[in-house]
Amino acid sequence: MSLCEDFLLCNFPKCRAKLSGFAWVTACSHAFCDQHGSGEFSHSPAICPACSSALSGKLDIVRTELAPSEEYKAMVLAGLRPEIVLDISARALAFWTYQVHQERLFQEYSLSRAETQVKQAEKLLAQQSQSRELELSAMRGEISSLKKVMEEYKRKYSEVSERLMERNRQYQKLQGLYDSLRLRNMVVGEREGIRFAPPEFAPARRQDNTGMEGHHSTYNSPSFLGTGSEGNKIFSTLEPDHTRSFFRFNSPANSQSHAFVRKQ
């Protein structure tokens, strides 16, 4: 509370209310609001709530009006000698100065306590911030290492994918070669079987429209047989039971060196 302020505050520890109307003042220079003064000073002996001083005198506690009327102000000091008036005024000013001084000390104490709390909060905040920075740095390092691991796995995945695609291409190529060789051997086996067939299974001669004779096999011969220059694209329809009787399958590695014809 500054000196220019024209009001006092209740000195009760948990009140600190602005005084107005009536106030209780004590000989130990403390002032209380009407509510707490009435409650604290209603029993005997009276004890000051602010400094715990005993107030046993008749005039140690006074309930005064803070805004007296003009008639009261005109008569309260009337008839007193000037020195008495000045002494009363000096005591009243001393009471006001003490209240202002106490209020300044209280505000300084509150400010010091608040500054201490702020410093503690700042220290705690700095510690927490440092801890969070360390955690963040550790997490950044972990993220960086995980990115490196992920890049390594991507590279390995790419290599494995390329090898798998190459293997698939090789497999498709070998599969096509195997199918081509198998069909070629099936045709060769069919022809060899017809040539070495017994007389009773010999093909019957027939004469076409041109007057030339030909052989007609009793076996189920292919309905269509294409023999081009490459000899790889051959289509045939053979009965499974007849084809097993005169040729067999070999692996692609041995198909060029072994014939698929059963020896008679």
pLDDT at position 161 over 90: yes
Ramachandran assignment for 212, one of left (phi > 0), alpha (psi -120 to 50 degrees), beta (any other): beta
Structure tokens at 61: 């506690």
| Residue 62: partners with Cβ closer than 8 Å, 6 or more residues away | 24, 25, 26
pLDDT at position 149 over 60: yes
Domain 9-67 of CATH type 3.30.40: yes
pLDDT at position 121 over 90: yes
Percent of the chain with pLDDT over 90: 41
Length of the chain: 264
The pTM is what? 0.48
Tell me 76's DSSP state.
S
Model pLDDT, residue 45: 81
Domain residue limits, the chain:
9-67
d(CA 214, CA 26): 149
- The per-residue DSSP string of 175-231 comes to HHHHHHHHHHHHHHHHHHHHHT--GGGPPEEEE-TTS-EEEE-SS---S-----SS-
